[in-house]
Amino acid sequence: MSKILDELLASNKAYADKFGTKRDLQATPIKKFAILTCMDARLDPAKFAGLSEGDAHVIRNAGGRASDDAIRSLLISHKLLGTHEWFVIHHTDCGLEKFSNKDIDEKFNLEPGNSIDWLTFSDNEKSVIEDVLYIKKHPLVPNSILVYGYIYHCKTGKMIEVREATKVGARQI
């Protein structure tokens, strides 16, 4: 058995041994919000945003991008489980800002035309605004949903607002 698997299962056993009243939690998020952020290992949304188990949905992908799959998840989060405030949180030093789609294609020996959209970006603030706008303009997203835009700073742990994104995302309220 791999050392990684060994350690992970030992940690899980310790967690389950002290599970307590968490057994009573329900699927509906207590705080009725969702976070969309990056998979980056340095980010722990529960810690940096103060979440306990049961509080909020957390959606994560490479970049924290508003991909079709993130939209699918957000729509389910709202319509089936009642969230109505969403946070788009990108971060500093993101791999998707350091590489272009072409760079990543080359690493996989993918020819142009036979490629994947890796959702890279060259301007972090703009990428947050773009994602917030894309979410707000999606035909299945109700106007009443508040969408905030933030960048998490990996050197400080601070979430810094992308004002233009939040303005756009929250303008109906």
- Residues of this chain, 77-136, that bind a second copy according to CB under 8 A: 77, 79-81, 85, 87, 93-96, 99, 104, 107-108, 116-119
Single out the residue of 102, 126, 158, 171 in contact with a second copy (rule: CB under 8 A): 158
SS (H, E, C) 95-144: HHHHCCHHHHHHHCCCCCCCCCCCCCCCCHHHHHHHHHHHHHHCCCCCCC
Site size toward a second copy, by CB under 8 A: 83
Query: Smallest gap, in angstroms, from Cβ of residue 160 to a second copy?
Result: 10
Residue 116 or 123 with smaller CB distance to a second copy: 116
At 159 the three-state DSSP class reads: strand
* Amino acid making up residue 36: L
Residue 55 or 164 with smaller CB distance to a second copy: 55
Q: Which of residues 14-73 bind a second copy (CB under 8 A)?
A: 14-16, 19, 22-23, 25-34, 39-44, 46-51, 53-62, 67-70, 72-73
* Amino acid making up residue 116: I
Residue 43 or 132 with smaller CB distance to a second copy: 43
**Phi, psi of 145, rounded to the nearest 5 degrees:** -75, 130
Residue 149 within binding range of a second copy, rule CB under 8 A: no
CA distances from 31 to 10, 19, 50, 51, 86 (A): 30, 21, 11, 9, 11
